[in-house]
């Protein structure tokens, strides 16, 4: 039961991580300090796509599932197992990645616009700390 719980928890954290990668920059519009975490998450996404390095969450989930007597993840890892072919057809992988990249860049552009607007307004705290 413990190994299965580890696998399930790793899967849930992985989904949250990917969601934050896609929309975390928009959250930074409201909570500006999140931009640093989002930059790190986005950098990890680029690194993993560019180099093919395996995500530690994938390793933990696969380990937990196999030790629980379940089938492990497909050879392509988390995205191939849960996302590709489920959320979008596999032949649209490049378009899905481009869409996420565009979301990230739009969120960053909006964040920079907000920071500039607040600093021009003469606020002693150019970024809302709310």
Please report, for the chain, the start and end positions of each structural domain, with discontinuous segments joined by +.
2-120
How confident is the model at residue 77, as a pLDDT?
Answer: 85
Tokens describing residue 19? 């969601």
CA separation for the pair 104, 26 (Å, rounded):
8
109 pLDDT exceeds 90?
yes
How confident is the model at residue 124, as a pLDDT?
Answer: 55
Pseudo-torsion of CA 97, 100, 104, 106, nearest 10°?
110
48 pLDDT exceeds 60?
yes
Contact criterion met (CB below 8 Å) for 25 and 108: yes
Taking CA atoms, 24 is separated from 5, 39, 49, 69, 97, in Å, by: 26, 9, 19, 35, 16
CA separation for the pair 73, 130 (Å, rounded):
40
CA separation for the pair 85, 50 (Å, rounded):
21
How confident is the model at residue 75, as a pLDDT?
Answer: 80
Contact criterion met (CB below 8 Å) for 66 and 72: yes
């Amino acid at each position: 039961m413990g190994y299965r719980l580890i696998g399930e928890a790793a899967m849930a954290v992985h989904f949250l991580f990917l969601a934050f990668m896609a929309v975390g920059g928009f959250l930074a519009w409201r909570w500006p300090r999140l931009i640093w975490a989002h930059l790190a998450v986005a950098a990890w996404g680029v690194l993993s796509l560019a180099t093919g390095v395996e995500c530690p969450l994938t390793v933990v989930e696969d380990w937990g599932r196999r030790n629980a007597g379940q089938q492990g993840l497909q050879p392509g890892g988390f995205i191939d197992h849960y996302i590709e072919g489920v959320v979008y057809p596999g032949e649209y992988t490049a378009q899905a990645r481009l869409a996420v990249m565009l979301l990230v860049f739009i969120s960053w552009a909006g964040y920079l616009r907000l920071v500039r607007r607040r600093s021009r307004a003469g606020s002693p705290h150019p970024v809302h700390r709310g």
